[in-house]
Amino acid sequence: MNTNEKKFVPVMITPFNLKAKVDMDALSSLVEFYLAAGVKGFFANCLSSEMFSISEDERLEITKHIVNQVKGRVPIVATASFGLTIEDKATFTKKIYYTGIDAAIMITGHFANVDQDDEVLLKNFEKMFSLTGNIPLGMYECPAPYKRIISSGLFKRLLEANRLIYHKDTSIEQAQVKAKLDILKSMGNNSLEFYDAHSPNAMFSLQAGAKGMSSISGNFYPEILVWMCNNANNPDKQEEVKWLQSEITRVDPLIHQAYPMSAKYFLQKRGLPVRTISRTFAMELTPEQKKTLDQIYEDFQGWCSRLGIKKAI
C-alpha cells in the first residue's frame, strides 16, 4: 500500500427511476463512471445517497449492489449507525458490514444529543465499540440529524481506542482541521484515514496531511478532485493547484443549491443515465439554477482543457 497516496472518495448519490425506486442499472453505471474518473474508494449510504429517505432494506440493498459492482477494486465504507438505541445501531452496523464493505461509519450526531457534552458521546462510542466486535469503524460529522463536530481533544481520546480507521471531517474551519491532523501525526502509527468534506479546503487539507477528500463536488466533476489529490503536494504543479483551488472554491456554494438534484442534473448533462428525481428535494430546478449549472459545466470543460485532464465521460 502506498502510504503517501492521496485519495478522492465520492459520497455517492442514489439514482431513482420514474417511480422513485432505486435505479440499480443507473447505480452500476455511476460506479463505473467514478472508477473511470480515478476515485480510490466509495462512501455508500451517506447523506448524498439520501440515506434518511430510504428504508433499512434499501440501505442494505444499495450498499450490497455497490460492493458487487466494485468487486474489490477499491475500498468501500457506508454509514451504519441507524436505530433508536446503541444496541440497535450495533445490530445494523453488523448487517451493513456483512454486505462486504471495508468499514462501517458512525454519524457523530447519533451518539449524543445536541445539548449533551462530549463525555456522553465518548461513553456511547465506547459502548458501540464493545458491541461491534472487531468491525472496522469510522466517524462522519454528518450535518443531520445535527452536525456534531469532534474536538481535537475528543478526537485523540477516540483514536486511543484503536477501533477507528476512517474520519470524514466537516468542521470547515482550517484551524480545526489542522488540530485534528496534528493529533493524528503525533500518534504515529495510527491507521485512521482522514478525509475533508469541504472542497474549499482541498489544497490546505491535502498539504496539511489529510489522506484525501470526500466532498459533494465529486458528484459533479470527480476528475477534478482526483487531480487535486494527485497534485496538491507536487512542487512542480503549485501554480496550477492554487488556480484550480480558487475555481473549486468559487463554484462550491453554487453546486450546493438544490443538492442532490443539482448533481443529478449535472451528471445527466455529462451523459450518465441519472434522472433528476430525488426523495429529499421535491421541487424542480429553476431555470436560473439550471443556467448556473450549465455555466459550471462549461467551466469544468475549461479546467480539464487547461490541466490536460481526461474526462471519464
The whole-number average pLDDT for the span 81-93 is: 97
Give residue-wise pLDDT tens across range 22-71: 999 999 999 999 999 999 999 999 999 999 999 999 999 999 999 999 99
Contact present, 53 and 43 (Cβ < 8 Å): no
Q: Give pLDDT tens digits for 219-231.
A: 999 999 999 999 9
What confidence score (pLDDT) does residue 281 get? 85
Mean pLDDT, the chain, whole residue set: 96
The pLDDT score that the predictor gives to residue 283 is: 85
Mean pLDDT value of segment 63-89: 98
Q: What percent of the chain has pLDDT over 90?
A: 96
Q: What is the pLDDT of residue 188?
A: 81
pLDDT at 2 over 60: no
What is the C-alpha to C-alpha distance for residues 199 and 44, in angstroms, rounded to an integer? Answer: 19
Residue type, 66: I
Q: Which domains does the chain have, with CATH numbers?
A: 7-307 (3.20.20.70)
For residue 107, is pLDDT > 50?
yes
Is the confidence at residue 1, as pLDDT, over 50? no
At residue 123, does pLDDT exceed 80?
yes
The pLDDT of residue 189 is: 63
pLDDT band at 4 (very low <50, low <70, confident <90, very high): confident
260 prior amide bond cis, ω within 30 = yes
**What residues have CB less than 8 Å from 184, skipping those under 6 apart?**
155, 159, 190, 192, 194, 209
> What local confidence, expressed as pLDDT, does residue 3 receive?
67
The CA distance from 217 to 184, in Å, is: 26
This prediction's pTM = 0.96
